[in-house]
Structure 1
Amino acid sequence: MNTAPEREEQLVLELLDAVGKRSDLSQRHLAHHMGVALGLANSYLKRCVRKGLIKITEVPANRYLYYLTPKGFTEKSRLTAKYLASSFAFYRKAGESCVEVFESCEARGWRRIALCGVSDLAEIASLRALERGIEIVGIYDPHTERRRFVDKSVWRKFDEVEDHDAWILTDLNAPRVAYEHLTGLVARERILVPDILRLD
C-alpha cells in the first residue's frame, strides 16, 4: 500500500536498477522494466538526468547509452536500503494482522478460510495459517489470470469457491472495492479484514 512519494521512489529505484544493469537500454525497454507508459518513463529519465543521477551519451545510429553517476549509485543504494526496510516492516505488520484475524477465527470455531485477493498479503496469510492449524481452502480473485497461488486454488468465479467458514480480505490493489464486492456476495459478519488494510 504505497503512498505517492513511495511509488515515485520505487519507480526511480526501478529506473536506476535497470540503467545500472545495462547501459544500452531503449526507453521502451525502460518503460517495460518500470511497468509504466513510455512517456512516464521518459519523464523519470529526464528528472534523473537533471538531478545528476544518470548521464546520457549519444552513440552512432541515433542511440543513447545511459550510465549511473556516482551520485546515482549512492541514490540507488539509499533507495534499496529504504525499500528493504519498508518491505520487512510490511511483512512484520502483515503477519501480526493475520495472527489477530486468525485468533478471531479460532474464537468462533472457524477452521476453513477462503481468501479474497491474490497478493503478498495472501501469501503471508497462507504462511501464518500453517502456524495456527487453519486451512486456507483457496483464493477468490476475479481479476487474476492465475489458477494457483502459494499452492492454493485460485477461483475467478464465485460459484467455484469451495466450502469454508469465513473470508479474509487480502486484496492490496483495491481493498475497499474488493470488500464491497464481497459483501454483495456473502454476509459481512463472515468477512474478516486485517488491520493492515486500514478499512475501518
Structure 2
Amino acid sequence: MKPAPTLKILYTNIMANQEEITQYNILQSIENGEQISQRQLSSQLGINVASINFALKKLTKRGFVKMLGANPRRMRYILTPKGIAEKTQIAYKFFDRNFHFYKAVRKDVEDKIGSIPFNNKKRVALYGVTDLMELAYLVIQDKELELVAIVDDEMKIRIFGYHVIGIEEINTHAPDFLLLTKELDADKMKQVPYSTIIVDIRI
C-alpha cells in the first residue's frame, strides 16, 4: 500500500501549480469580459503585465485563446472551445488537489486533539479565528467535547453561533483546555487561568 502523502508534499504540489491557477484566472476573465486588455487583466488579477503577456502567448500557442486585431494596445482575446474545456479541467484538478489537502489537514488536527489527555474534562476553548480553527471546531463536535468559547483579540465577530471574545474574558468561561490555532504571545498567555491547560494544535 502506498503511504499517505504528507502535508508538506500536498502543499508543495498545490503551490507548484500556481501557473495553472494563473492560467485559469486569465481564461475566466477573458470568458467573462467582452473585451479586455492585458493591462486590465494585470489590474484584475494583481499580476504584472509582462507575466500576463507571457501567459497569454502560451495560452494562444496551445489554442486556448484567440487574439483578434493588429494593434497590440487594442488587441481582443476570446476563449476557444478548447480553452473552455481547459478551464473546466484546471478547475477540476485544483478542486481534487485541495480536497486531498483538506483531508490531510483535518486528519492532522484530529490526531493532535485526539492525543490530548482530556481525562473526562470536556470544556474546551479555541484561540484564533483561522481556517485551522474551523477544522478544529468540526473535530470538537465529533469528539463530543464542549466548546465554551472562541477567543481572538483581533477578530471580534460572531462565528458558529459564538461571539468571539478577547483573551481577557476567558476567565468567565473557565475552559479546561485552550487550543491554539494561532500564536498566543507571552503577555496574553498570563491572562489564561492557571487551571486551563494550553495546547498548541497548529500544523
TM-score by length of structure 1 reads 0.66
Q: Does 1:111 align with 2:123?
A: yes
Counterpart residue type for residue 159 of structure 1? E
Q: How does 1:32-181 map to 2 (within 5 A)?
A: 33-34=44-45, 36=46, 40-51=47-58, 52=60, 53-58=64-69, 63-105=74-116, 107-108=118-119, 109-119=121-131, 121-134=132-145, 135=147, 137-140=149-152, 142=154, 147-155=157-165, 158-161=167-170, 163=173, 164-170=175-181, 178-179=182-183
- Larger CA deviation: 67-76 vs 84-93: 67-76
Tell me if structure 2 keeps the 8 A contact 1:113–1:137: yes
Q: Does 1:186 align with 2:189?
A: yes
Q: Kindly tell me: are residues 28 and 118 of structure 1, through their superposed partners in 2, closer, same or farther at Cα, counting changes over 3 Å?
A: farther
State how far apart, in whole Å, the 1-side matches of 2:39 and 2:153 are.
31
Provide the alpha-carbon RMSD of the alignment.
3.4
Unpaired runs of 5+ in structure 2?
A: 1-7, 191-196
Tell me if structure 2 keeps the 8 A contact 1:14–1:33: no
- The 3-state SS of whatever aligns with 1:107 is coil
Name which one, 1 or 2, has greater alpha-carbon Rg.
2
State how far apart, in whole Å, the 2-side matches of 1:54 and 1:81 are.
20
Unpaired runs of 5+ in structure 1?
A: 171-177
Counterpart residue type for residue 35 of structure 2? D
Q: Kindly tell me: are residues 165 and 132 of structure 1, through their superposed partners in 2, closer, same or farther at Cα, counting changes over 3 Å?
A: same
Kindly tell me the number of residue pairs found equivalent between the two proteins: 176
TM-score by length of structure 2 reads 0.65
Percent identical pairs in the alignment equals 21
- The 3-state SS of whatever aligns with 2:189 is coil
State how far apart, in whole Å, the 2-side matches of 1:191 and 1:104 are.
11
State how far apart, in whole Å, the 1-side matches of 2:159 and 2:51 are.
33
